[in-house]
Amino acid sequence: MSGKTVLITGATSGLGLATALPLAEQGAEVVTVGRDRTRLPIEAPTTEFVVTTSQERTMPIRKAEAEWKGNLVEGAGRLKLGSGAFEGPYSFKSRLEEGQSATNPEELIGAAHAGCFTMALTAQLSQKGITPNRIYTIARVQLDKIGDAFAITRIELQTEAEISSIDDTTFQAIALDAKQNCPVSKALAGTEIHLTARLVNSR
C-alpha cells in the first residue's frame, strides 16, 4: 500500500479504526475524518487524523426480490439477491417441512446473522491487532406458532474461534459485544438471541 493515500471516515473507533490500522501498517498514508479528536487512539501513530465536521461516506442500500405465483399451499415463490450471488425457489413446503432443498426466510435470516456476527467479532479482534485464524459460526433460527400466528422466537449463535493470541476472558467479552451490537443483532430486536462462544486454541 506504500505510496497510496486512503481517506477513511469515522476512523477513531469501530470498523473505521479497524480499517485504518492495517492500511497504515502496510505503508498507506491514511487520512481519516472524525468528529472528535480526543478519541484518536494512541496506538495509531502512523495515521494522520483530519478532524472536521462529520461527513460520513455513503452507505450502500442492498436489494433483494421475491416473487410468488398461485395460492399459499400449491403456489411457488422465487427469491433473488441483489448481488446476483443467489436466485432460487422457496415455497410453503420448503418453509415448514424438514428435508427440503429449497430455501426459506428463516435460514436466510440465519445466514445474515451468522455472517454479521462473525464479521463484527473479526472487526473487534482486528481493532485490537489480533488476526483470527478462523471463526466458524452456526445460527439456528426457530420458527414457532404462538397461538395462531407464526413468529421467530429464538436465534442461537454458536461460534468457534481459532485465535492464537487471546485469553478466554477477553475473547468472551468481545464475542458478547459482537452478539449485542452487530447490525443484524440490533435489527432483530423482536426475537431472543443466545450465544455460545468457544475459543478452540488459545495460547
Instruction: Tell me the HSE value of 11 on the side-chain side, using a 13 A CA sphere.
Output: 24
Please, what is the angle between helix 168-181 and helix 105-127, to 10°?
Answer: 130
Minimum CB distance to a second copy, residue 37 (Å): 14
Minimum CB distance to a second copy, residue 62 (Å): 4
Residue nearer to a second copy on the CB measure, 5 or 86: 86
Of 30, 125, 175, 195, the residue at the interface with a second copy (CB under 8 A) is 125
- Residue 106's alpha-carbon distances to 94, 95, 99, 152, 160, in angstroms, are 11, 8, 14, 8, 22
Instruction: Determine the Cα–Cα distance for residues 175 and 18; give it in Å rounded to an integer.
Output: 16
Minimum CB distance to a second copy, residue 167 (Å): 19
Minimum CB distance to a second copy, residue 151 (Å): 5
110 three-class SS: helix
Which of the residues 69 through 88 are near a second copy (CB under 8 A)? 69-75, 77, 79-86, 88
Of 29, 105, 172, 202, the residue at the interface with a second copy (CB under 8 A) is 105
Residue nearer to a second copy on the CB measure, 135 or 166: 135
Query: Is position 33 an interface residue for a second copy (rule: CB under 8 A)?
Result: no
Query: Is position 181 an interface residue for a second copy (rule: CB under 8 A)?
Result: yes
Q: Using an 8 Å Cβ cutoff, are 152 and 142 in contact?
A: yes
Query: Is position 46 an interface residue for a second copy (rule: CB under 8 A)?
Result: no
Which long-range contacts link 87-92 to residues 24+ away (Cβ below 8 Å)?
90/66
Which of the residues 2 through 21 are near a second copy (CB under 8 A)? 9-10, 12-16, 18-19
